[in-house]
A and B are shown apart, each in its own frame.
Chain A
Amino acid sequence: MIITTIIYALALSWLRLAIGMVISIIISIFVGILAGMNKTAEKIIIPIVDILQSIPILGFFPVAVFFFVNFVPLIGVEMAAVFLIITSELWNFIFAVYESVRSIPSYILEQAQLSNMSLMDKIAKIYIPSAWPRIIDNIPISWAIGLFFLSSSEIISLGTTTYQLLGIGSITFQLFNLGDFQDLYIAFISLFLALVGTHALFFRPLNEWSQKFKYEFTSSVTSTKIPWFISTFIRSSRPFRNITKHIVIPRRPISPFIKSRNLEPSYLPPSIEGNVLSYKNKIAIFNIAKILRYITYIALILITGIFIYFITGPIINSIYILENLNNFIYILTSVAYSGIRILIASAIMFPIIMLALLVATNNLAKRVLLPLILIIASFPAPLFIPLIILWFGPKVEIIAILVIISGSIWYIFYNAYSSIQLIPEDIKECILLSNLSKIQKFKKLYFPAMLPGLVTGFITAIGGAWNALIVAEWISIGNEVYSVKYGIGKLIDSAASSGDLNLMYASLIMMILVVVALDRTLWKKLYDYATSKFRYEI
Chain B
Amino acid sequence: MTEIKKPVLILKNVSFSITSKSSKFEIIHDLSFEVYEKEFLAITGPSGCGKSTLLRLIAGLLKPTTGTIFLNEKPITGPTNKITMVFQQFALLPWLTALENVELPALKLIPDKEKRREKAVKLLELVGLSGFENSYPKELSGGMRQRIAIARALMSDPEILLMDEPFSNLDQLTASNLRSEILSTLFNPSLSLKSVILVSHNIEEIVELADRVIILSKRPAQLVKEIIIDLPRPRSIRLPKFTSYLDTIYEYLS
> Which A residues fall within an 8 A CB radius of B?
424, 426-427, 429-437, 440, 444-445, 448, 533-538
Q: How far is the CB of A442 from chain B (nearest CB, A)?
A: 12
Contact call A535/B81, Cβ cutoff below 8 A: no
Q: Which of B72-114 contact A (CB under 8 A)?
A: 79-81, 83-85, 87-96, 104-105, 107-109
Contacts of A448 in B (CB 8 A): 93, 95
Contact of B107 among A430, A432, A444 (CB under 8 A): A444
Contact of B85 among A433, A535, A536, A538 (CB under 8 A): A433
Q: A433-B79, A448-B95 are in contact. Are A426 and B104 (CB under 8 A)?
A: no
Q: A427-B91, A533-B94, A534-B95 are in contact. Are A434 and B107 (CB under 8 A)?
A: yes
Q: A444-B104, A444-B107 are in contact. Are A430 and B94 (CB under 8 A)?
A: no
Contact of A430 among B81, B85, B145 (CB under 8 A): B85
21 intermolecular pairs with C-beta atoms under 8 Å apart:
A424-B91, A427-B92, A427-B93, A429-B56, A430-B85, A430-B87, A430-B91, A431-B104, A432-B61, A433-B83, A433-B105, A434-B156, A435-B81, A435-B108, A436-B108, A437-B108, A440-B107, A444-B93, A444-B104, A444-B107, A448-B95
Contact call B84/A433, Cβ cutoff below 8 A: yes
Whether a CB of chain A sits under 8 angstroms from the CB of B59 is yes
The docked-state distance in angstroms from the alpha carbon of A432 to that of B61 is: 8
Contact call B61/A426, Cβ cutoff below 8 A: no
Q: A434-B104, A444-B96 are in contact. Are A538 and B109 (CB under 8 A)?
A: no
Contact of A445 among B87, B88, B93, B138 (CB under 8 A): B93
Contacts of B94 in A (CB 8 A): 533-537
Q: How far is the CB of A70 from chain B (nearest CB, A)?
A: 56
The docked-state distance in angstroms from the alpha carbon of A430 to that of B145 is: 15
Contact call A435/B109, Cβ cutoff below 8 A: yes
The docked-state distance in angstroms from the alpha carbon of A282 to that of B109 is: 73
Contacts of A429 in B (CB 8 A): 56, 59, 61, 85, 87, 91
Q: How far is the CB of A310 from chain B (nearest CB, A)?
A: 49
Whether a CB of chain A sits under 8 angstroms from the CB of B64 is no
Contact call A538/B79, Cβ cutoff below 8 A: no
Q: How far is the CB of A292 from chain B (nearest CB, A)?
A: 45
Further contacts, 17 of them, CB under 8 A, given A433-B84, A434-B104, A437-B107? A426-B88, A427-B92, A427-B93, A430-B104, A431-B104, A433-B59, A433-B83, A435-B79, A435-B156, A444-B96, A444-B107, A448-B93, A533-B95, A536-B94, A537-B94, A537-B138, A538-B89
Q: In this complex, which of A440, A444, A533, A535 has the most chain B Cβ atoms within 10 angstroms of its Cβ?
A: A444
Size of the chain B interface, CB-CB below 8 angstroms: 29
Whether a CB of chain A sits under 8 angstroms from the CB of B137 is yes
Q: How far is the CB of A231 from chain B (nearest CB, A)?
A: 22
* CB-based nearest B residue for A451: B95
Contact call B93/A537, Cβ cutoff below 8 A: no
The docked-state distance in angstroms from the alpha carbon of A431 to that of B108 is: 12
Contacts of B90 in A (CB 8 A): 426
The docked-state distance in angstroms from the alpha carbon of A440 to that of B152 is: 16
Contacts of B83 in A (CB 8 A): 433
The docked-state distance in angstroms from the alpha carbon of A538 to that of B91 is: 9
The docked-state distance in angstroms from the alpha carbon of A426 to that of B95 is: 16
* CB-based nearest A residue for B152: A430
The docked-state distance in angstroms from the alpha carbon of A436 to that of B145 is: 22
Map CB proximity to A onto B31-62 as digits: 1 under 8 Å, 0 otherwise. 00000000000000000000000001001010
Q: How far is the CB of B112 from chain A (nearest CB, A)?
A: 15
Q: How far is the CB of B7 from chain A (nearest CB, A)?
A: 22
* CB-based nearest A residue for B96: A444
The docked-state distance in angstroms from the alpha carbon of A435 to that of B156 is: 10
Q: How far is the CB of A419 from chain B (nearest CB, A)?
A: 12
Contact call A436/B107, Cβ cutoff below 8 A: yes
Contacts of B95 in A (CB 8 A): 448, 533-534
* CB-based nearest B residue for A441: B107
The docked-state distance in angstroms from the alpha carbon of A440 to that of B105 is: 10
The docked-state distance in angstroms from the alpha carbon of A424 to that of B79 is: 18
Q: In this complex, which of B79, B95, B152 has the most chain A Cβ atoms within 10 angstroms of its Cβ?
A: B95
Q: How far is the CB of B104 from chain A (nearest CB, A)?
A: 5
Contacts of A432 in B (CB 8 A): 61, 79
* CB-based nearest B residue for A430: B91
Q: A536-B94, A537-B94 are in contact. Are A426 and B105 (CB under 8 A)?
A: no
* CB-based nearest B residue for A427: B91
Q: A445-B93, A537-B94 are in contact. Are A426 and B107 (CB under 8 A)?
A: no
Q: How far is the CB of B44 from chain A (nearest CB, A)?
A: 20
Contacts of A440 in B (CB 8 A): 107-108
Q: In this complex, which of A424, A430, A436 has the most chain B Cβ atoms within 10 angstroms of its Cβ?
A: A430
Contacts of B88 in A (CB 8 A): 426
